Structures are given as C-alpha cells and as structure tokens.
Amino acid sequence: MNRRILYPLLLVLVLTGLYFAEAYIDKQNEEYPQTKTSPEEVNVFDDKYLPSSSTGVMVRHSYYTLSYSEKHEQAEWIAYELKKEHLAKAEFERPYFVQDRKIKTESAHWRNYKNSGYDRGHLCPAGDRRFDYNAYHETFLTSNISPQDHVFNAGIWNRLEQKVRYWAERKDELYIITGGVLKDGLETIGDEEVSVPEEFYKIVIDKNGDTLKAIAFLIPNEGTSASFYDFTVSIDAIEKKTGLDFLRGLEDSMEDKLESKVDRIGW
C-alpha cells in the first residue's frame, strides 16, 4: 500500500482506538457505584473528630469523609476509621480512577496526572479498604488522590501506611486524618492546575475506652531514606501549616493535651 495512504490510515486507527478507550473509562465513571453506608458499619469515632473545612465542601462517602478544595483540585483532608476487621487481604481487580460525582464542581480528572511526573497518590489507601469491594473502589475516586513524588509515595509514605495498619491490628480502633499542605504558589499539573503539595501530613488517633492517644507526621513530598518517626510533629504544628482546626469537637482540655505534644510512646 502507498505510504501516503498507509500512514494517515494508521493515524486514524490509533486516534479512533484512543477515543473509544477514553469513552470506556468515562462510561465507567458514569456507572461507578456511589455506595451507601453499610448497615454493619458501626463508627466508634463521631463527628467531633472531624477537622474544620476551609472550603465548606465536605463530602461523606460510605467509608471516608473529605473536605474538597476546588482551588487546589484535591481534598484538603480525608478522615476515616481503621479497625482490626478492616485488615482483610482480598485481591480485587484494580479499577480506573474516576471523578467524584458528589462534588458539584467535579473533582479533577485523572488525565491531569498523565505524564506529569507525579503519582496518583491515595490519601485513604486502597490497602486500608480491602475488606469490601465497594470500599476498595471508593478509594479510586479522584477526590481521594493528590500528586505525590514517586519515591515518596512508594517509599516513606508507603512505609507509614503499612505501620498504621500494623497499629490497627494491635490497637483495634484508629482514626486517621491525612492530606497535603495546601497553600498559594504551589506547582501545578494538568489543564485543571492540580496543586502539588510540598508536604503531606497524617494524624493517627487511638481510642481505648475513654483514653485517647495521638501521633502526627509532617513529611516532605520527596524521596528520603529517613524513618517516618523523624517527621513526628505536634498536631498544633500541622494546624499552623494548614490553617485547619483538628479535633475541634473534643473538650478543650482533651484537645489541648492531644494537640500540643509529640508523644511516640506506645507507637
């Protein structure tokens, strides 16, 4: 066949294939199950543990709650319970990332991350939600991801996530609050200008009867061989960085006690 005919024909075939592939993903987005809370799920931590929302866009999903920042095209925080019985190891088929229909302005599209040099970093890890098919798929909403350096995501952040699951197995009831530090002037990726946080935080709360303990981390979004324990900080320090108010529903004396100190004992 004449090359002048062959090359345009191949180009048309490739473009047609890409069109139908993206149409298939968009169709999955339309059909993605936005589940209702399971009747078997009993929450030990109530709304008084939720942080403030600087945007007023708070969204409750079945297995986590988030506050979405349209300005930065990602959640400013994700909060969820992690129980011992959540630590299943079911192997579900990894789904596509899809937009969050509960956010009226729509969460950022996964294409913003394509060829950006950054991972689609989960905030609520898929590994924390292997106990249920819908719970697992819910972590692939794009409202639950943030641009993360690959070495950071696969390294220190992954090690911290594994450690949190280790704690959940031994402490039974944990509450996790996590997100990127969002501020003006950050690098952005994609057509929707998704902000790239320079730091990520994770707050872990352990409830044993009426006793509460907490540990918090603030880690730069870059590769490091250091231990995540080297990045323990007070919750107060994260509040100063983010402008958010954590544990605001607790009694002042308990809130002050948990937020003011760095306590690694028992963690």
Cα–Cα distance between 246 and 177 in angstroms, integer?
A: 9
Question: Is residue 21 domain-resident?
Answer: no
* pLDDT of 24 strictly over 90: no
Q: pLDDT tens, 138-172?
A: 999 999 999 999 999 999 999 999 999 999 999 87
7 assigned to some structural domain: no
Nearest to 167 by CA among 133, 120, 217: 217
Average pLDDT, the chain: 88
Domain of 93 in residue numbering reads as 32-260
Residue 234 sits in a domain whose CATH number is: 3.40.570.10
Mean of the pLDDT values across residues 109-130?
96
pLDDT at 33 exceeding the cut of 70: no
Domain count, the chain: 1
Q: 98 in a domain, yes or no?
A: yes
212 vs 172: which has the higher pLDDT: 212
In this structure, is residue 120 part of a structural domain? yes
Is residue 100 one of the residues assigned to a domain?
yes
Give the SS3 label for residue 238. helix
Report if residue 36 sits inside a domain: yes
In a domain, 75, yes or no: yes
Q: Between 186 and 8, whose confidence is greater?
A: 186
Q: Report which secondary-structure segment, H or E, holds 137.
A: helix 133-138
Mean of pLDDT values over 47-65 = 95
Amino acid at 152: F
- 2 within domain boundaries: no
The reported pLDDT for the residue numbered 34 is 45
